[in-house]
Amino acid sequence: MTIDVGAHLKAVRTLHGLSQRELAKRAGVTNGLISLIEQNRVSPSVSSLKKVLDGIPMSLADFFTLDEVQGPDVFFDKETLPDLGSGPVSLRLVAARRGNRAMAILQERYQPGADTGEDMLSHRGEAGGIVCRGEIEVTIGSQSRILGPGDAYYFSSSTPHRFRNLGTEVCEIVSACTPPTF
């Protein structure tokens, strides 16, 4: 999916009834830059594009998601779910592909020995999940525990955390977090 950032920005801008100069003023950039971006004469930096979109306003996630095919938003085949990692830890995302979702649902698979590491990002919001298969050691701040099938966790996501599969079996978790924008 080749993204035509320029045409896309122009469409979004005009849809909101803004001129290049109006948007530039709101965004804190020059009108010339917006002109150049819309002609695809430059590829804006993420920070610049974010400034521009803030003037609309629109999130980066929404901007890049608008191009995606608008399939039925109720069912998701597992083949079409975005795969985030084919390594020791794999994630498959259900919702949150569109910006207006209230939450995201993930299927996580941890290979034996898999370790998310200590320095995971954390933001506002809450998250929780249920272990479906296998066992996994979950560490939150100072607390640590090994969860098995049927066990669960729930937390507000501002705490450092870590998932480690210490066993010899694959561990599967289904989790949800809200809000889905980070």
Contacts of DNA in 3-62 (CB under 7 A): 19-22, 28-33, 35-39, 41-45, 47-48
Cross-strand bridge partners of residue 128: 154, 176
* Rounded distance between C-alpha atoms, residue 27 and residue 39, angstroms: 18
- The separation between the first and the last C-alpha atoms of the chain, rounded to the nearest angstrom, is 23
Q: Footprint of a second copy on residues 61-100 (CB under 8 A)?
A: 61-78, 81-82, 84-89, 91-97, 99
CA-based nearest residue to 89, from 178, 165, 182: 165
Q: Closer to a second copy at the Cβ: 112 or 120?
A: 120
* DSSP code, position 100: T
Q: Indicate which of a second copy, DNA, none lies near residue 99 (CB less than 5 to 8 Å, by partner kind).
A: a second copy
Q: Closer to DNA at the Cβ: 48 or 65?
A: 48
Q: Indicate which of a second copy, DNA, none lies near residue 31 (CB less than 5 to 8 Å, by partner kind).
A: DNA
Pattern 129-158, a second copy, x by CB under 8 A? xx-xx----xxxx-x-x-xxxxxxxxxxx-
Opening angle at CA 60, ends 75 and 101, nearest 5: 30
Q: Indicate which of DNA, a second copy, none lies near residue 151 (CB less than 5 to 8 Å, by partner kind).
A: a second copy
For helices 31-38 and 20-27, angle between their N-to-C axes, nearest 10 degrees: 120
Applying CB under 8 A, the site for a second copy has a residue count of 111
45, exposed or middle or buried, with CB in 10 Å at 0-12, 13-18, 19+? exposed
Residues at the site binding DNA, with contacts judged by CB under 7 A: 19-22, 28-33, 35-39, 41-45, 47-48
